[in-house]
Structure 1
Amino acid sequence: MTAHDGERVIIDGENMPHTPGAVGSSIPRAERGAVHIEGDHWRLAGLEIVNGPYGIFGLDASGNVFDRLVTRDNYESGLHLQGASSGNLIVDLDSHGNRDPRKNGESADGVAIKEGSGSGNVIRGARLWNNSDDGLDFWMFLGQVTVESSVAWGNGFNRWNLPDYTGDGNGFKLGGGDPDPAVGHAVRNSMAFDNAVHGFTDNGNPGRLVTDRSTAWRNGGTGFDYADSVSVLTRNLSVANRTQAAPGSSSSSGNSWDLGGTWTLASTDSGTITGPRAADGSIRSSSFLRPANGADVGARL
């Protein structure tokens, strides 16, 4: 399902049930999503999904491709996968401004792969910003997910004047649950900046996360919060966060906090990375948040 002949196509879910739902209410699974998928091998490309009770909701959905989509201003997460969901590819997604008045902001993420299991799910080239809860959330998902060359910023702030606001405000929330399952998600070459709380966090996941050459800048909490995991952290850059890193028992090598010293940045102008994408849908390259000394530390986007 794609746009015809390069046209801009908007799927608008406003006035569907639960837009918004009453405070404290739940949305029946069958009614979740302006686009609702319970199937395999769909390809959605070049569409804009807005104002839905979730933007895209996939349940027991495998082998799907979500390509160059925009999921914005929905009344729950922009793109949400749940249940037995494997082998999905999310590429060059923009997901922003999603909020959930019925839960006072604590549930609407840019991307949520939650409460399920499945292998081979990949997120590549995503931009996740200004969502009420987190940029990305892997709460209670039991299969390993890979994240590459993605960016999360400005998440967890009450931009909608929601009462009793409870948004978490992490850039990349890599697990968690009750009890916390041990899952080895992987993040590479990604950035988190200006989020309300942590840049990257294990969120209580005791597993072996792998995070390599990623950057946390100016987040309100810890840049890399891995205090509860036994992760592998390599060549990451953490600058101007409230706390730079909490590696706990994780293996930590070649990161800015291991190398020490003062880290200055080649550019703090986010205009290129947050502006229009390239013609092929990729994030435009810039020197944003690269070390001024040229060290091989942190993300390169």
Structure 2
Amino acid sequence: MQRSTVVLLATAAVLVPWVAAAPSSHAAAARTFYVAPSGNDGAAGTLAAPWASIAHAQSVAAAGDTVYFRGGTYAYTRANSACSSQTARVDAITLNKSGASGSPIRYWAYAGERPVFDFSRMTDNCRIKGFDVTGAWIHLKGLEVTGVRQNNNLNHESWGVWVSGSNNTFELINAHHNMGPGLFIQDGGGNLVLNSDAHDNYDSMTSNGAGESADGFGAHISAGHPGNVFRGCRAWNNSDDGFDLINAFSSVTIESSWAWHNGYVPGTNTSAGNGNGFKAGGYGGGYVSNGVKHTVRTSVAFSNRSAGFYANHHTLANDYFNNTSYNNHPDYNMLGVNSSGAAVGLGNLRNNIAYAGSLTSNMTGTSAANNSWNLSVSMSDAQFRSVATTGWDAARQSGGGLPVLSSLHLAANSTLIDKGVNVGLPYTGPAPDLGAFES
């Protein structure tokens, strides 16, 4: 079993604070364990005598159990298996033991503390997964994932968190400065990514070009695995896209999420990868007969290098409801492909806002109504309480929700209020407002 090097935490202020009590309801035999950077895997796993590694915790934990991680840095120097070749995939952490429905295995941050899983010291000469989650009914909460490396230029991305199991929850994950996507669902259904952040990920050594594969979040799942959801998530300063659903053959929902300043080398305005806020599908540019519909709703994209919301040659119409796109290029690009391989516009768009940048492209053929660009409304800054693009990375609310901002919320006298149509989302007044934020 790998014994990782462990050092105490000495990193910047956390972007994802979280304070919570222990779970209120477990199975009768549920147990609680503790892990700390200064722990010992030969200890009892108690608060006073914690273990040192998540690998040992998994070997003991069962369905319904909770493992709390104390604040500090858990620094990994090598994978738990050797690279069989320079293009092989290895894991630093493999979570392959499953919980059960209603009794997940919980790997949670200790209340008010910040456990950081740092993979920047790994020297494995192949593709690296920080966390490889193959089990089911696992709940990760409040963990920071950083530094996953590429150690040669023969591959595409490495990954912060790679998921192929089902019915897992990833809550308050902060995945940043990885050389690949922050959190990537390769397979499995019923996974929930909740109130999580992915930012400043940059794949400088990717074989098809620097910056081309480091998305914030991705879901590229096979057929037969529905129910994957991203909710309350933020993706910013990633070198490729904020959210990427290319090659997803099972439906995915993205809701109440934000994406900004993607497509640049992090910390600069130097162009890198594709740079879309929400890339909602596609299968490599060609037509497939078994494509599926995705849904993107109540979400915000701004200041991305390319589109705010992009259909990416998808093969059928996705649903885009009550989104706000500001200063993207364009705000909505509905480029699809039909069964003959011809480019067409595909998408069902209702109650969306496009403002600044260039507004739309490839709209011919879409079903678009009650959006800001096809209503008799005049768009200006005055429609909003603010159009500020700073502060979106502020600390989350105490329960993990997105910060409360005024930017891109409708002004009290906005003519976009009550201009929408009912698409099954909650609203007040006689009709829904346009955009991501109901007045």
Q: TM-score scaled by structure 2? A: 0.62
Aligned partner of 1:98 in structure 2 is: 201
How far did 1:58 drift? 1.3
The amino acid of 2:403's aligned partner reads R
**In structure 1, which of residues 118, 121, 127 is the aligned counterpart of residue 228 of structure 2?**
121
Pairing partner for 1:189 from 276, 286, 298 = 298
Question: Aligned pair in 2 of structure 1 residues 138, 180: CA closer, same or farther (>3 Å)?
Answer: farther
1:63 maps to 2:63: no
1:256 is the counterpart of 2:392: no
Please, which of 121, 130, 138 is the counterpart of residue 34 of structure 1?
130
The structure number with the bigger radius of gyration is 2
Within 5 Å, give how 1:193-212 maps onto structure 2: 193-212=302-321
1:23-59 deviation digits (Å, cap 9, x = unpaired):
xxx72xxxx3211111111100001000114110113
Cα-to-partner distance string for 1:67-102 (whole Å, 9 max, x where unaligned): 11100000110001113x100000001110011112
Q: 1:151 aligns with which of 250, 258, 278?
A: 258
1:112 aligns with: 218
Greater RCO, 1 or 2 (C-alpha within 8 Å, sep 6+):
1
- The Cα of 1:272 is off from its aligned counterpart by 4.7
TM-superposed CA distance for 1:115, in Å, is: 5.0
Partner of 1:225: 333
Instruction: Please list, as runs of the form range in 1=range in 2, the aligned pairs for 1:135-174 lying within 5 A after superposition.
Output: 135-159=242-266, 166-174=272-280
| Residue type of the alignment partner of 2:171 | D
Q: Distance in 2 between matches of 1:160 and 1:194?
A: 14
CA distance in 1, matches of 2:393, 2:266: 18
Q: Which amino acid aligns with 1:242?
A: S
Distance 2:110 2:409 in 1: 39
- How far apart in 2 are the matches of 1:175 and 1:157? 21
Please tell me whether the aligned partners of residues 264 and 272 of structure 2 are also in contact (alpha carbons under 8 angstroms). no
The answer (yes or no) to whether the contact 1:140–1:180 under 8 Å persists in 2 is no
* Cα contact 1:42–1:65 (8 A) shared by 2: yes
SS at match of 2:373: helix
User: Equivalents in 2 of 1:101, 1:260: separation in Å?
Assistant: 46
1:166-223 CA-partner distances (Å, limit 9, x unpaired): 500000001112334432100110000000000000000021200111011011x111
Cα contact 2:182–2:198 (8 A) shared by 1: yes
Task: Please give the alpha-carbon distance, in whole angstroms, between the structure 2 residues aligned to 1:239 and 1:186.
Answer: 21
Q: Structure 1 pair 121/108, CA: closer, same or farther in 2 (3 Å)?
A: same
**Is the 8 Å Cα contact of residues 250 and 292 (structure 2) preserved in structure 1?**
yes
From the superposition, tell whether residues 180 and 106 of structure 1 become closer, same or farther in structure 2 (CA, over 3 Å): farther
- SS of residue paired to 1:257: helix
Q: Does the 8 Å contact 1:263/1:291 carry over to 2?
A: no
Judge conservation of contact 1:189–1:298 (CA < 8 Å) in 2.
Answer: yes
1:33 and 1:57 in contact (8 A); partners too: yes
In structure 2, relative to structure 1, the CA distance for the partners of 1:49 and 1:146 (3 Å cut) is same
Task: Please report how far the alpha carbon of residue 12 of structure 1 lies from its aligned counterpart in structure 2 after TM superposition.
Answer: 0.3
**Contact preservation (8 Å) 1:137, 1:173:** yes
Is contact 1:111–1:137 with CA below 8 Å preserved after alignment?
A: yes
Residue of structure 2 in register with 1:278 after alignment: 397
1:291 shift after superposition: 3.6
Q: Percent identity?
A: 33
> Partners in 1 of 2:437 and 2:295 — Cα distance?
17
- Give the match for residue 236 of structure 1: 352
* Unaligned ranges ≥5, structure 2: 1-106, 149-157, 337-344, 418-432
Q: Structure 1 residues 136 and 95, CA, compared in 2 at 3 Å: closer, same or farther? A: same
The answer to whether the 8 A contact 1:245-1:257 is kept is: no
CA distance in 1, matches of 2:374, 2:357: 16
The change in CA–CA distance for 1:285 and 1:4 in structure 2 (over 3 A counts) is closer
CA contact (8 A) 1:156 1:167 kept: yes
Q: Which residue of 2 aligns with 1:81?
A: 185
CA RMSD of aligned residues (A): 2.1
SS of the equivalent of 1:35 reads strand
Question: Is the 2:314–2:335 contact (alpha carbons within 8 Å) kept by the matching residues of 1?
Answer: no
Which range is displaced more, 272-281 or 86-95?
272-281
State TM-score, norm by structure 1: 0.89
Show structure 1 runs of 5+ residues with no match.
none
* Whole-angstrom CA distance in 2 between matches of 1:49 and 1:159: 17
Cα offset, 1:245, TM superposition: 4.6
Indicate conservation of the 8 Å contact 1:45/1:68, yes or no.
yes
